[in-house]
Amino acid sequence: MSTLLVLLLLGGCGSEAPAPATGEAPPAPVVKAAAAATTDAPRVPTRATGRIAASHILVAYAQSMKAEPTVTRTRDQARALAESLLVEASAPDADFAALAKKHSDDSTASRGGSLGAFDTGKMVQEFEDAVRTVEVNALTGVVETPFGFHVIKRDPVLEVHCAQLMVGFATAERPLPGATRSKEDARARIEAARGEIEGGAEWATVVAKYGDGNLTQDGGDLGWFGRRQLMPALEEPAFDLDIGARSAIIESPAGFHILLRVE
């Protein structure tokens, strides 16, 4: 897997989210390193079919796994609090994200408890099994894992397929290896690329001519990805695009980008 693809998909550039207390690993490309070496393996992430998504509120207790030193409640107190939060979250006008931000002891609290989409085996078994037993947008009951008690909401899996044209520069926060171009030259280069695309030139041809990184040979194809798998500067523009549409020029900590929504 290319350095560029890892940089983009891991959300690198100084913004990687900490692993949630549910035991999930940090988001990773769908194509595993070992598989990428085989002849028939996809060069870019493929659309995942068995992934599920969830948000949660974690109520930890003093003896639970990875509990912060500031957590002093007992197991019984944690269970009681989780049960009361489940009642609140079940109300017709409940704001689950707001409850998670206020009450969750997990690092995902700042983003409303969202864990994004994940593959089979990424979460502890009790957590994953509970999510798979409910419909999208439904709540599980209170679920206990080694990390504490969870109130879980199953979320829809949102994934898009995009390609990108990227031009890097040496002074970027996270420059590509060997980058020597100035920021001014990089901006002029991606402006020229955009001009050719708007003039009717084929996307893949322009990417190969102007783009940086190993993805240029694939027309800049990033494959399918979900929320929190792409660096934050690119995520919202990618999900906001209509199929077939292109983004404006985007500056990220890695360089300048133009995104194309493929599917």
In tens, the pLDDT along 79-114 reads 999 999 999 999 999 999 999 999 999 999 998 999
pLDDT of 22 reads 58
Q: How far apart are the first and last CA of the chain?
A: 22
Residue 160 has pLDDT above 70, yes or no: yes
Centre a 10 Å sphere on the Cβ of residue 66 and count the other Cβ atoms it contains: 16
Q: Decide if 252 contacts 231 (C-beta within 8 A).
A: yes
Return the number of other C-beta atoms located less than 10 Å from residue 183's C-beta.
Answer: 16
Domains, the chain, ranges and CATH?
52-156 (3.10.50.40), 159-261 (3.10.50.40)
pTM of the model: 0.63
Query: Which residues are CB-contacts of 3 (< 8 A; sequence separation ≥ 6)?
Result: 176, 177, 213, 214
Query: Using an 8 Å Cβ cutoff, are 52 and 46 in contact?
Result: no
pLDDT of residue 259: 97
> Per-residue pLDDT tens for 109-135?
998 999 988 888 999 999 999 999 999
Cβ-based neighbours of 145, under 8 Å, separated by 6 or more: 22, 23, 124, 126, 127
Question: What's the pLDDT tens digit per position in 210-221?
Answer: 999 887 878 999
Least confident of 41-55, 60-74, 133-147: 41-55
Two structure tokens written together for 165: 């044209």
What average pLDDT does the structure give for the chain? 85
